[in-house]
Amino acid sequence: MRKAVLTTGIFWAVVGVTYLIKAFQLDMGTMDKPGAGVYPVFVGLLLLVATIGTIAGAIGRPPAGTIAWPKGIGLGRILAIAAVIFFYAFALEFVGYLVCGSIVMLVCLHVMGMRSWAAKIGLTAFVMAFSFFLFDMLLRVPLPEGIIAVFWGKS
């Protein structure tokens, strides 16, 4: 099990460093007006700190047990979440924050077991509205508009 945790930790450390490299290429802005890179750098640093803690914990413990890879519906859930994360990463600029984020949230809520479409749609609408208000209106972080800009007449 220790080998699996170390391997996973190293993988996520590489992802974290790569993410941070890309995040530092974004505009950081100023203290009065944070740029688009502030939040990604924060997330990347959190990922890296968590990963370093995971690796350190794995190094400090003796090898024990094995990890069984999920099968059936468990594997399907993992693959669905991975697919929607890749969708978000590659479609965000084109599709836009609100549409892309809503799709990701709906899929994740469904995969995690929420069955009521009214609850899924309501929670998604609330979270997307709140995050849009927080980042776009309060913090003035420019969010990708994507295809929705066509409807707003910005393109």
| Per-residue pLDDT of the chain in tens (155 residues, 90 and over written 9) | 677 788 888 888 998 899 898 888 888 888 888 887 888 888 889 999 999 988 888 887 776 666 677 899 999 999 999 999 999 988 888 888 999 999 999 999 999 999 999 999 999 999 999 999 998 888 888 888 887 777 766 65
Q: Which pLDDT score, from 0 to 100, does residue 128 have?
A: 94
Full-model pTM: 0.61
Domain map (residue ranges) of the chain: 1-67, 70-155
Distances (CA, A) of 126 to 92, 98, 105, 130: 19, 12, 11, 6
Q: Which pLDDT score, from 0 to 100, does residue 135 have?
A: 87
> CA 38: distance to chain centroid?
15
Q: Which pLDDT score, from 0 to 100, does residue 57 have?
A: 85
Residues contacting 10, CB < 8 A, separation 6+: 55
Tokens of 101: 């984020």
Q: Which pLDDT score, from 0 to 100, does residue 152 have?
A: 67
Residues contacting 47, CB < 8 A, separation 6+: 12, 15, 16, 19
SS3 70: coil
Q: Which pLDDT score, from 0 to 100, does residue 35 have?
A: 81
26, 36 contact by CB (below 8 A): yes
Q: Which pLDDT score, from 0 to 100, does residue 107 have?
A: 94
Amino acid at 77: R
